[in-house]
Amino acid sequence: MKIRAIITGATGMVGEGVLHECLLNPDVEQVLVINRKPGGIIHPKLKEFILKDFFDLSPIESQLGGYTTCFFCLGVSSVGMSADEYRHLTYDLTLNFARLLAKLNPDLTFEYVSGASTDSTEKGRIAWARVKGATENALMQLFRNAYMFRPGFMKPTPGLKNVKTYYKFIAWLYPIGRALYPAGFSTLQELALAMIKSASIGYEKKILEVNDIVALAKR
């Protein structure tokens, strides 16, 4: 069955990379991106909705049925943010969106971009890792098919516009890191391909670390 995907966060680096690969991939027949601002991409497969408030989904609810997959790439940094605010914009926001999709598309595959060192126990010392862990755990309970992706350092996909500025200054580290510590380094393309492939053929693990991401991207 062809993938009909919803993508959030497509104006960020990760979401743009996932969108790029979806538009190229013949297994993906339709893409709906939900952005806070226009992404500026036009493609026959692509439809875009602008949603200013992800806590109020009523403007788009009628448009969210009939999809097979959600690539949830929306996220915020915890830097400079209180613990309560970070949880609200990570756990609460994600679950608000996910619960609606689960109601409208019970068999949907939900794919969540988390991060390396996420804390599945929800009891560790690092606050953001606990929140990410809680989010992962809730999503895996909500959906029968759910995959949590924990990328580390990612080499951006060439030619895309939403690359974080600091990546341009530390890109030289990538080949060294990949050689010395492959468990911490992948490309954004590998992440995107792994997400698409888990939606189409599945994967034996629900939580994918960097080694899993690289291995699945090659299948």
Q: Residue 168 pLDDT > 80, yes or no?
A: no
The C-alpha atoms of residue 87 and residue 109 are separated, in whole angstroms, by 23
Q: Residue 169 pLDDT > 90, yes or no?
A: no
Question: Parallel, antiparallel, or unpaired: how do β-strands 145-149 and 109-113 relate?
Answer: parallel
Res. 171 pLDDT band, cuts 50 70 90: confident
- DSSP notation for 171-200: TTHHHHHHHH-GGGEEEHHHHHHHHHHHHH
| Across 74-84, average pLDDT | 93
Could you read off the pLDDT of 173-194 as tens digits, one per residue?
999 999 999 999 999 999 999 9
What's the confidence (pLDDT) of residue 94?
A: 98
- Which residue in 100, 151, 43, 138 sits closest to 33, CA to CA? 43
What's the confidence (pLDDT) of residue 128?
A: 96
What's the confidence (pLDDT) of residue 167?
A: 78
| Across 114-128, average pLDDT | 96
Q: Residue 198 pLDDT > 80, yes or no?
A: yes
Question: Tokens at residue 10, please?
Answer: 């497509």
The C-alpha atoms of residue 145 and residue 167 are separated, in whole angstroms, by 32
- What is the pTM (predicted TM-score) of this model? 0.96
Q: What are phi and psi of 59, to 5 degrees?
A: -65, -20
Burial (CB < 10 A; 0-12, 13-18, 19+), residue 149, is buried
Could you read off the pLDDT of 14-38 as tens digits, one per residue?
999 999 999 999 999 999 999 999 9
The C-alpha atoms of residue 58 and residue 72 are separated, in whole angstroms, by 19
Tell me if residue 21 falls in helix, strand or coil.
Answer: helix
Q: Residue 206 pLDDT > 80, yes or no?
A: yes
Contact 116, 151 (CB under 8 A): yes
Give the percent of the chain with pLDDT over 70.
100
What's the confidence (pLDDT) of residue 172?
A: 87
Q: How many CB atoms lie within 10 A of CB 182?
A: 13
Q: What is the DSSP letter of 136?
A: H
